């Protein structure tokens, strides 16, 4: 299994929107690095759901329910999407400030390359952030 972090602005699409909807097409990614990460996602991989811009915190865990396919929002075969479903809400949000203060997380893409919207995590990093949210 692989581990990821996916980012969304909560006023555009929030964790609560995903929970309400039940499944969502993770589309609209227009960065080659993030696109390559979408292509690497496998069914049942877990992804931390991060609210960007407003709130800047990890709020839940989603699972990949469908591997990459052409992004339905654009007629350009370079871009792909995956489907995700809500898996578990964190008991307390894990703010970016706490992530940045945590030595074991200093090298994750969220800290090093904050603009990347889909990023890989090591299992240890994923587990640590989940533990911080309990």
Q: What does each of the 134 residues of the chain score in pLDDT, given as a tens digit?
A: 999 999 999 999 999 999 999 999 999 999 999 999 999 999 999 999 999 999 999 999 999 999 999 999 999 999 999 999 999 999 999 999 999 999 999 999 999 988 899 999 999 999 999 999 99
- Residue-level pLDDT at 80: 98
pLDDT at residue 114 in the model: 83
- Opening angle at CA 21, ends 83 and 56, nearest 5: 80
Which residue has 């997380």 as its token pair? 105
Q: Supply the pLDDT for residue 8.
A: 97
Residue 121, C-beta contacts closer than 8 angstroms, at least 6 positions apart: 3, 4, 5, 48, 108, 129
The three-state secondary structure class of 71 is coil
Tell me, what's the pLDDT at 25? 98
Give the residue extent of every domain in the chain: 3-132
Considering the four listed CATH numbers 3.40.190.170, 3.40.50.12140, 3.10.590.10, 3.40.50.2300, the one that applies to the domain covering 3-132 is 3.10.590.10
Specify the pLDDT at position 29.
96
**pTM of the predicted model as reported, rounded to 2 decimal places:** 0.96
| pLDDT on residue 3 | 98
pLDDT at 19: 98
């Amino acid at each position: 299994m692989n581990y990821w972090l996916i980012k969304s602005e909560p006023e555009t699409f929030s964790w609560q929107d995903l929970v309400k909807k039940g499944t969502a097409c993770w589309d609209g990614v227009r960065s080659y690095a993030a696109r390559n990460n979408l292509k690497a996602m496998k069914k049942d991989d877990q992804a931390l759901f991060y609210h960007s811009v407003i709130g800047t915190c990890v709020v839940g865990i989603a699972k990949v329910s469908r591997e990459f396919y052409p992004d339905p929002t654009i007629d350009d075969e370079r871009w792909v999407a995956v489907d995700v479903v809500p898996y578990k809400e964190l008991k307390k949000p894990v703010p970016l400030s706490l992530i940045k203060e945590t030595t074991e997380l200093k090298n994750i893409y969220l800290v090093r390359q904050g603009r990347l919207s889909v990023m890989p995590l090591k299992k240890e990093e994923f587990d640590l952030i989940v533990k911080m949210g309990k």
